[in-house]
Amino acid sequence: MIAARDLVKVYDDGSRALNKVSLSIDGKITSIIGRNGAGKTTLLRILSTQLLPTSGTGTINGHDIIKDAEAVRKITVSIPQDVEAVWFFTVFDSLLVYLTARGMSTREAKRAATTALKKVGLWDARDKIPSRLSGGMQRKMFVAMGLAADADIVFLDEPTTELDPLSRLEVWSAIRALKGQVVLTTHYMEEAQALSDKVIMLDKGKILAHGKVEELLRPFSGLVRVEGKRKRKGAYRVANTWVSYVKKERAESFVMEGDVVRPVTLDDLFIKRGVNLER
């Protein structure tokens, strides 16, 4: 169980990244969603003990993230967005060094690394230098570290940013293989929807919504999204497009008028709430 109470983070330049964030996370895979600058990475860094909050606190499986930081680090794995492997280590050696640094014996580390690399489909690449692998395979290697560490909780910051669609799917598969609880940040709504049991929606350092995907999308039940150039009653303006929501059985008439009809996704939570959008 991950919990936070009244977390606030104000940086030296005066910018407020988090504004009294309180939450509890108990799903297998939880996505923290939001646009760039919403506070996602700051929240993840605080929960994983990489960054101190300005005020407030939190616990990871009962351990205080401030007072018991070392205990938290023993049961968690944190993989930042911009992490890079040591250039002269092979894939296998990268896992081996990481696992022994966490306290595993060499024998345990070799066994765990072997199992994890096979699990994520990287065993055949074990003797390659990570820099020579595709972006997706590199991210899979870091996910394999979390799998091999057998940690209670794995934090992943933007695990698929700048990856091509196929590589993204490969990383998703690796994330699903993780044994412990997973908390990831993403600004890809389809990623959160495909992977997550629960979603936390952040904007400007505040939680706007928190729950299961189906619960959050329940207000859109039976509706589709219509995007067009004409303003309609109750429509939302997104740049030069007007977005409205209609019943599925009315969708054909809008298509015939030249509008685009799409299924409802987590994107619509942001549109409905007017987050960073002009109403």
Question: pLDDT tens digit string along 139-152?
Answer: 889 889 888 998 89
Are residue 172 and residue 269 in the same domain, yes or no?
Answer: no
51 domain-assigned: yes
78 domain-assigned: yes
278 domain-assigned: no
279 domain-assigned: no
Closest Cα to residue 238, out of 206, 262, 209? 262
Are residue 74 and residue 187 in the same domain, yes or no?
Answer: yes
Domain count, the chain: 2
pLDDT at 132: 87
Are residue 193 and residue 263 in the same domain, yes or no?
Answer: no
Q: What is the CATH number of the domain that holds 26?
A: 3.40.50.300
Question: Is the model's pLDDT at 209 over the cut of 70?
Answer: yes
pLDDT digits (tens, 9 = 90+) for 2-60: 999 999 999 999 999 999 999 999 889 999 998 888 999 999 999 999 999 999 999 99
Are residue 244 and residue 164 in the same domain, yes or no?
Answer: no
pLDDT digits (tens, 9 = 90+) for 157-175: 988 887 888 888 888 988 8
pLDDT at 275: 53
Are residue 45 and residue 169 in the same domain, yes or no?
Answer: yes
Are residue 131 and residue 177 in the same domain, yes or no?
Answer: yes
Question: Is the model's pLDDT at 279 over the cut of 70?
Answer: no
Burial annotation 42-80 (CB, 10 A radius, 16+ → b, else e): bbbbbbbbbbebeebebbbeebebeeebebbbeebbbbb
At residue 260, φ and ψ (nearest 5 deg) are -105, 130
H/E run at residue 210: strand 206-212
Are residue 98 and residue 36 in the same domain, yes or no?
Answer: yes
Are residue 224 and residue 174 in the same domain, yes or no?
Answer: no
In percent, the amount of the chain with pLDDT more than 70 equals 97
55 domain-assigned: yes
Are residue 192 and residue 228 in the same domain, yes or no?
Answer: no
pLDDT digits (tens, 9 = 90+) for 51-105: 999 999 999 999 999 999 999 999 999 988 777 767 789 999 999 999 999 999 9
Are residue 231 and residue 199 in the same domain, yes or no?
Answer: no
Report yes or no: 271 and 277 within 8 Å, Cβ to Cβ.
yes
For residue 178, what are the domain limits? 2-216
* Final residue in a domain of this structure, among 216, 231, 252: 216
Mean pLDDT across 245-270:
90
Mean pLDDT across 124-137:
89
Are residue 224 and residue 249 in the same domain, yes or no?
Answer: yes
Are residue 183 and residue 242 in the same domain, yes or no?
Answer: no
Bigger pLDDT: 90 or 230?
A: 90
